[in-house]
A and B are shown apart, each in its own frame.
Chain A
Amino acid sequence: AQTVTQSQPEMSVQEAETVTLSCTYDTSESDYYLFWYKQPPSRQMILVIRQEAYKQQNATENRFSVNFQKAAKSFSLKISDSQLGDAAMYFCAYRSGSSGDKLTFGTGTRLAVRP
């Protein structure tokens, strides 16, 4: 079974600075997808960024980018120019590319942004 590990329960960043959230995963599959989701206080899950395992290029979405290290099974999220609205829980998630759409979530990292 696949597992997703987020080793940082809490992180803090100064507004306008950069922060990196860590995620590692364990799988024997070669075809899969990785995601970062944001859950603000409203509890609505919001997709931040997606990475297909077959793509070597790291995904980017505006201020959000990932460092995908397939051999190391690492998938970190970098938030640049942090804003107050970035404060939320962030969940890393794994999805198999061949056995359904089920997501496996990590335990989450709570990000605080200091003004």
Chain B
Amino acid sequence: GAVVSQHPSWVICKSGTSVKIECRSLDFQATTMFWYRQFPKQSLMLMATSNEGSKATYEQGVEKDKFLINHASLTLSTLTVTSAHPEDSSFYICSASGPTSGLNNEQFFGPGTRLTVL
């Protein structure tokens, strides 16, 4: 299957700072990338969908000015958590799909990034 990487795998930051998480598709062109948030013992909650070269579409209740998403190339999307606060601490997962990612544009998931805001 296709491979998606995320960097960093974990990050600790101080309240008020910004953190950038990268999501890369390593062996296919990701026309669409998705960003999810997962709290402990809960399901994945979709935050936003980004298509290469266009603005991300955010789910209801997700602050687009706080969670900046950039999908500038077919292999890279970034999520920047701006002015992070302790309540932003969570596990962030990206996934990617494209016309060559598998059967019917299957999504492939990155390994996730654990963000802790002190």
Option from B43, B91, B95, B111 in Cβ contact (under 8 Å) with A91: B43
User: A42 — nearest CB in chain B belongs to which residue?
Assistant: B111
Contact A45 B95 (CB under 8 A): yes
Known contacts A101-B105, A102-B49; is-contact A44 B44 (Cβ 8 Å)? no
Interface size on B, residues (CB 8 A): 22
- Is B104 within 8 A of A43, CB to CB? no
B60 to chain A, nearest CB (A): 10
Inter-subunit contact B111/A44 (CB<8 Å): yes
Check A47/B46 contact, CB under 8 A, given A101-B32, A102-B34. no
CB<8 Å pairs between A and B, sample of 29: A33-B104, A43-B38, A43-B91, A43-B93, A44-B109, A44-B111, A44-B112, A45-B93, A45-B95, A46-B109, A47-B1, A50-B103, A91-B43, A91-B44, A100-B32, A100-B49, A101-B32, A101-B34, A101-B105, A101-B107, A102-B46, A102-B49, A103-B34, A103-B95, A103-B107, A106-B43, A107-B42, A107-B43, A108-B43
Binding site for A on B (CB under 8 A): 1, 32, 34, 38, 41-44, 46, 49, 91, 93, 95, 97, 103-107, 109, 111-112
